[in-house]
Chain A
């Protein structure tokens, strides 16, 4: 059985470092600044419209590296598999994961699998760890937003959360919405090339949505935000699902979107470059950074009034990433 599982992964991930069969992967380290990130993936269901836990485990970690402006180099993957989990499903997840890694230009160079007793897991949990290299001269960090900086969102919000929710049988609604799960390193490379040091920070609004991401940055940088509801792209189907379920799209998770904070003079150039990339086609300038000791994220509503955009309180949904 162990050998069978091993073969599934070797076939799916297919790279020479993994094929060496050592307990570790060896590679030369490039000059300059490296970044490293790790994340655990426990999503339910394992397969959802537009992706599965395997592709998500690649995209999530690749994106965490890319938010430093880095080019992702290598991934490590750890699988915790529940006894009795169908091998066909495991193979499907592994193939999805291998393809996602190849598309993102990274290799899964080392890994581990553990099988736990039936009832001690929920199908499959995956942990991925990645390293990447930051281009020289680039310093992106959540504490670098300054009053007057512009805020650009790379596309529609809420697609992932609503796509996952639509598969939950107790909610009972059907949609055509696909998760936006995608690796953003290509888009980021174009953005870094265009805006370089004018970029202050990047962040992907996953759990807690755009609202939580902006509040995190506000706290880290000691600033406020003023955003325009009208400028935030939301698909009509996502807006409708949120309306029905009483959710705010600003709180719904994304897995293929980013928020960029950029010096005002570089905003237009950056926006144009983002829109030229397939993953930034719907990019939009959604607001700016304000001086605010209270660190409030404020929004001009499409109706014309003002309100706060608050953190997501508690869990809107369990296990969506």
Chain B
């Protein structure tokens, strides 16, 4: 496949891996966090851990939109979907995310809720047009990558005067989450030497928002693509910055990412959304100015207002350690539930649901590796 195979070239990767091994200073530990689930998935799927020297370690970050969505918001979505007049349109990876008391959208659907899986926001618009008697709600989640498509759908609904369409907005912002990780009281425990910055998010935001983070926290940030060669090259760039005492924002993904980002997408987002004062993130808690909601000028298309949704905060299963995993404090296999009660078949925590979640990626691709106690994880028969 043109434009893909080039970035999966194993021989080039071996060369870069050899350079990393040569340049990583013996006796020094390098610990880098890949912020995005896309990177986590690539690292697991291509076995990148096997190619790095033992003193260069990757810590998984919280950049999986499904994983950071708090349970209370899934509860809201289920309640919405169970209203007889509502058709809830959602991306498929949300279907199995656990809500309160073992509920999820899949079970709600089986119980009769009208829930439709869509590939695009425009599918939801089409459903609203085709079925004017239904109240079609799009369950919008994701970082800056998926926000512009939601903005476009809202604009279309306005233009088409679609009275039966609305958006349940759960879009969140990347830089505040990165700030929360770097500035949290846990930061010394995680002891990060640098970050691999978001790929697709950065095509929208550009690299500029990360500059203040790099200078304030003295950590190098390398924005990298989601292909495995991108990740390996980004690790080399981080090792070099650490060795040279630099803490800059570098752009490995310059084939798509610019400093300023996609100005048209940014304008569409700014037109339709405003920043919430605060929003709950699973694992990270309440983060100030970290999420978006519809502006008053689009209040009529806001499902939260149309259906008077008042989110009730729901407590996670106390044994589930998704919170620590999302903050990089624990590796998936260090959670007691991992591979015992919690697996992709029966996820207890959100990190086990999305293929981009750290636990699902480690389970699906990496569980043959020894865990903290030196024992490979057994499959639950």
Which residues in B have their C-beta under 8 angstroms from that of A300? 47
A304 in contact with B4 given A294-B376, A313-B345 (CB within 8 Å) = no
Docked Cα-Cα span, A300 to B365, in Å, equals 11
Residue of A with least CB distance to B123: A170
Across the interface, do A305 and B344 meet the contact criterion of CB distance under 8 Å?
no
Q: Is the CB of B344 within 8 A of A304?
A: no
Q: Does A308 contact B (CB under 8 A)?
A: yes
A158 to chain B, nearest CB (A): 14
The 10 closest A-B pairs by CB, nearest first: A305-B47, A307-B365, A303-B46, A305-B50, A304-B10, A306-B47, A307-B47, A296-B368, A303-B228, A303-B10
* B49→A243 contact, CB < 8 A: no
Q: Is B152 an interface residue (CB 8 A)?
A: no
Cα-based distance from A243 to B226 in the complex (angstroms): 13
Within residues 331 to 381 of chain B, which ones have a CB less than 8 A from any CB in chain A?
A: 344-345, 363-368, 376, 378-379
Classify the interface of chain A: helix, strand, loop or mixed: loop
Report chain A residues within 8 Å CB of B364: 308, 310, 313
Most buried by B among A295, A303, A304: A303
CB contacts between A and B, total, < 8 Å: 67
Nearest-CB residue, chain B, relative to A310 = B364
Whether A307 lies near B14 (C-beta < 8 A) is: no
Cα distance A304–B43 in the bound complex, in angstroms: 12
A305 touches B46 (CB 8 A): yes
Number of interface residues of B (CB under 8 A): 29
At the interface, yes or no: A87 with Cβ under 8 Å from chain B?
A: no
A239 within 8 A of B: yes
B135 at the A/B interface (Cβ < 8 Å)? no
Q: Which of A170, A302, A304, A305 has the most CB of B within 10 A?
A: A305
Specify the chain B residue showing the minimal Cβ separation from A248.
B45
B132 to chain A, nearest CB (A): 21
* Smallest CB gap from A230: residue in B: B10
Main SS of chain B's interface residues? helix
Known A-B contacts A294-B378, A313-B345; the reply to A302 vs B10 at CB < 8 A is yes
B107 — which chain A residues lie within 8 A by C-beta? none
Cβ–Cβ contact B376 & A304, under 8 A: no
Is B246's CB within 8 Å of the partner chain A?
Answer: no
**Chain B positions 79-127 with a Cβ under 8 Å from a chain A Cβ:** 119
B87, chain A: closest CB distance, angstroms = 16
Q: Looking at the complex, which one of B1, B45, B368 makes contact with A236 (CB distance below 8 Å)?
A: B1
Between-chain CB contacts (< 8 Å), 15 pairs: A294-B368, A294-B376, A294-B379, A303-B8, A303-B46, A304-B50, A304-B51, A305-B48, A305-B50, A307-B45, A307-B365, A308-B364, A308-B367, A313-B345, A313-B364
A303/B47 in contact, CB under 8 A: yes
Contact of A307 among B44, B119, B376 (CB under 8 A): B44
Known contacts A303-B10, A307-B366, A308-B368; decide if A239 and B47 are in contact (CB<8 Å).
Answer: no
Is A301 engaged at the interface, CB distance under 8 Å to the other chain? yes
Assess whether A276 is interfacial by the CB under 8 Å rule: no
Q: Is the CB of B1 within 8 A of A308?
A: no
Is A243 a contact partner of B4 (Cβ separation < 8 A)?
A: yes
Q: Which residues of A contact B368 (CB under 8 A)?
A: 294, 296, 298, 306, 308
Complex: chain B residue closest to A298, CB-CB: B368
Tell yes or no: A317 within 8 A of B by CB: no
With a cutoff of 8 Å between Cβ atoms, the chain B residues found around residue A305 in the complex are: 46-51
Q: Report chain A residues within 8 Å CB of B17.
A: 304
Q: Is B199 in the interface zone, CB < 8 Å from A?
A: no
Enumerate B35-59 residues with CB–CB distance to A below 8 Å. 44-51
A239-B1, A313-B344, A313-B345 as given contacts; A304 in contact with B366, CB under 8 Å: no
Is A240's beta carbon under 8 Å from chain B? Answer: yes
B91 to chain A, nearest CB (A): 11
- A301 touching B345 in the complex, CB below 8 Å, given contacts A236-B1, A239-B1: no
The smallest beta-carbon distance between B346 and chain A, in angstroms, is 11
A301 / chain B contacts, CB cutoff of 8 Å: 10, 45-47
B322 at the interface (CB under 8 A from A): no
A306 to B13, CA, bound (A): 14
- For window 271-299 of A, CB contacts with B under 8 Å fall at 294-296, 298
Residues of chain A lying within 8 A (CB to CB) of residue B10: 230, 301-304
Q: Bound complex: CA of A230 vs CA of B5, how far in Å? A: 12
Give the residue name and chain of the B residue nearest to A219 (CB): B381
Instruction: Give the contacts of B1-21 with A (CB-CB under 8 A).
Output: 1, 4, 8, 10, 13-14, 17
Give Cα A310–Cα B345 distance, bound, in whole angstroms: 12
Residue of A243, A301, A302 ringed by the most chain B CB atoms within 10 A: A301
Q: Is A304 a contact partner of B1 (Cβ separation < 8 A)?
A: no
CB nearest to B49 among chain A residues = A305
- A301-B46, A302-B8, A302-B10 as given contacts; A308 in contact with B365, CB under 8 Å: yes
- B180, chain A: closest CB distance, angstroms: 29
Which A residues are in CB contact (< 8 Å) with B4? 243
CB contacts (< 8 Å) of B378 on chain A: these are: 294
